[in-house]
């Protein structure tokens, strides 16, 4: 399945008003769609991507020359079946795959924004996707689905537009970033900003890339996407090149080789300033800070929820999902909770997880039967 990325532009008379108060002029959102929208537009599902993801959820990604990041979940016959559902996936604001971000030209100066680009919150990203969906004539989504940072967007949709969708599926996520994760993000940001080629965020004007900083940032982050069990199983202490005297200059272990590969790949495909903005948006996300906490956030949504966590996820451990489920339960919401036993860590939502596939398929199909066809759905269940 192939899909061409499209771009939706905010009307000039209705610019995107950011939560900071800044009006982002000429804002645009790059997005891709998969499947066909039915006559009454009741089969639309919005898929929200993770931190450094893109709009190519499935099919071939023409920019990166590889399959879409969720090709096992979205597609013909997949858990989110595009022969039945119409899937929208938008590149988030501040990213570098076609939506408004730091690498755009500032209309006020005629130069690349760089770090003059305004801060974009998770709420702003959701606002952009909401307006995109409305521009497609969709009055109510069947579901909003996303993992990790995409899961944060799902939860933010519940806060901002709780009546705009029938179902929500936040996966491997949290309602507020932990101090530990904020610290990890800051280490990555400092690695980028310490690179001499970062040039205080003006590297694009000089035709440079802070490649070393990006590589280190990705290496630092990627360790947390895997579980200790998976690292031990896949790499152990297997040597990369035993006997090499230049032990400080070249990887000595396979895990080091792997991280170097991840770093090189990342610096070739992602923008440094985008990484700074997106990671800071995660840090600032905090749904639980209001006077009524999470209960207040979910009180006015009538949507069904299915919350998924992974047993070996040490970036967003199951307890973070349990907090979300507790709040939904206190609101008497229709909520299911599944903790999937796996050694794939945080990245499990991107990998081959048959139990996750079954849960997603069952939840989405049941929601369609219940909310669109008027049938019945299985009773909600809360797992351990």
CA dist., res. 95 & res. 104, Å (int):
10
Looking at residues 149-167, what average pLDDT do you find? 97
- What does the pLDDT look like over 28-75, one tens digit per residue? 999 999 999 999 999 999 999 999 999 999 999 998 899 999 999 999
- What does the pLDDT look like over 82-99, one tens digit per residue? 999 999 999 999 999 999
Q: Which of 42, 148, 221, 279 is catalytic?
A: 148
Place 100 in a pLDDT band, splitting at 50, 70 and 90. very high
State yes or no: is 163 an active-site residue: no
Q: Does residue 384 have a pLDDT over 50? A: no
Helix extents (H) in 228-316: 228-234, 254-267, 272-284, 293-298
Q: What is the pLDDT of residue 254?
A: 74
Looking at residues 128-136, what average pLDDT do you find? 98
- The pair of structure tokens assigned to 374 is 């008027």
Place 315 in a pLDDT band, splitting at 50, 70 and 90. very high
Would you identify the CATH topology of the domain 6-176+287-372? Rossmann fold (3.40.50)
Kindly report the average pLDDT of the chain as a whole number: 91
Q: What is the pLDDT of residue 262?
A: 76
What is the reported pTM?
Answer: 0.92
pLDDT higher at 122 or 3: 122
Give whole-number Cα distances, 132 to 141, 144, 289, 352, 368, in Å: 12, 14, 28, 30, 22
CA dist., res. 381 & res. 161, Å (int):
24
Q: What is the pLDDT of residue 264?
A: 77
Give whole-number Cα distances, 372 to 74, 140, 157, in Å: 20, 11, 20
- What does the pLDDT look like over 103-124, one tens digit per residue? 999 999 999 999 999 999 999 9
Task: Please name the CATH architecture into which domain 181-282 falls.
Answer: Orthogonal Bundle (1.10)
Q: Which of 124, 271, 283, 313 is catalytic?
A: 313
| % pLDDT > 70, the chain | 91
| % pLDDT > 90, the chain | 78
Q: Does residue 1 have a pLDDT over 80? A: no
Q: Which of 28, 49, 185, 346 is catalytic?
A: 346
Looking at residues 252-268, what average pLDDT do you find? 76
Q: Does residue 173 have a pLDDT over 60? A: yes
30's CB contacts (< 8 A; 6+ apart) are: 5, 6, 7, 55, 90, 91, 97, 98, 99
> Where do the domains of the chain lie?
6-176+287-372, 181-282
Q: What is the pLDDT of residue 161?
A: 96
State yes or no: is 148 an active-site residue: yes
State yes or no: is 274 an active-site residue: no
Indicate if the alpha-carbon torsion angle 95, 101, 102, 104 is positive or negative: positive
Q: What is the pLDDT of residue 213?
A: 95
């Amino acid at each position: 399945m192939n899909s061409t990325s499209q771009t939706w532009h905010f009307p000039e008379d209705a610019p995107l008003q950011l939560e900071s108060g800044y009006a982002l002029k000429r804002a645009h959102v790059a997005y891709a769609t998969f499947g066909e929208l039915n006559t009454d537009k009741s089969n639309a599902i919005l898929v929200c991507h993770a931190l450094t993801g893109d709009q190519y959820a499935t099919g071939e990604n023409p920019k990166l020359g590889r399959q879409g990041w969720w090709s096992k979940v979205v597609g013909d016959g997949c858990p989110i079946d595009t022969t039945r559902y119409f899937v929208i996936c938008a590149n988030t604001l501040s990213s570098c795959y076609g939506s408004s971000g730091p690498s755009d030209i500032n209309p006020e100066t005629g130069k690349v924004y760089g770090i003059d680009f305004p801060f974009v919150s998770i709420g702003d990203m959701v606002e952009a996707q909401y307006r995109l969906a409305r521009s497609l004539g969709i009055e109510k989504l069947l579901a909003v689905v996303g993992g990790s940072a995409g899961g944060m967007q799902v939860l933010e949709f519940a806060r901002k537009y709780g009546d705009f969708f029938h179902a929500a599926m936040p996966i491997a996520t949290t309602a507020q970033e932990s101090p530990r994760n904020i610290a990890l993000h800051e280490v990555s940001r400092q690695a980028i900003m310490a690179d001499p080629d970062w040039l205080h965020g003006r590297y694009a004007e000089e035709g440079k890339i802070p490649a070393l900083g990006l590589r280190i940032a990705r290496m630092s982050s990627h360790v947390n996407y895997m579980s200790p069990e998976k690292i031990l199983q896949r790499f152990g202490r297997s040597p990369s090149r035993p006997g090499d005297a230049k032990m400080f200059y070249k990887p000595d272990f396979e895990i080091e080789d792997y991280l170097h590969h991840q770093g090189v790949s990342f610096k070739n495909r992602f923008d440094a300033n985008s990484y700074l903005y997106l990671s800071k948006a995660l840090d600032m996300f905090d749904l639980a800070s209001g006077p009524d906490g999470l209960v207040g956030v979910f009180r006015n949504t009538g949507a069904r929820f299915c919350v998924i966590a992974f047993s070996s996820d040490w970036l967003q451990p199951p307890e973070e999902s349990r907090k979300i489920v507790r709040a939904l339960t206190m609101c008497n919401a229709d909520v299911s909770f599944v903790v999937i036993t796996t050694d794939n860590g945080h990245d499990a939502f991107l990998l081959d997880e048959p139990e996750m596939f079954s849960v997603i398929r069952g939840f989405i199909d049941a929601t369609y039967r219940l909310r669109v066809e008027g049938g019945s759905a299985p009773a909600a269940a809360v797992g351990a």
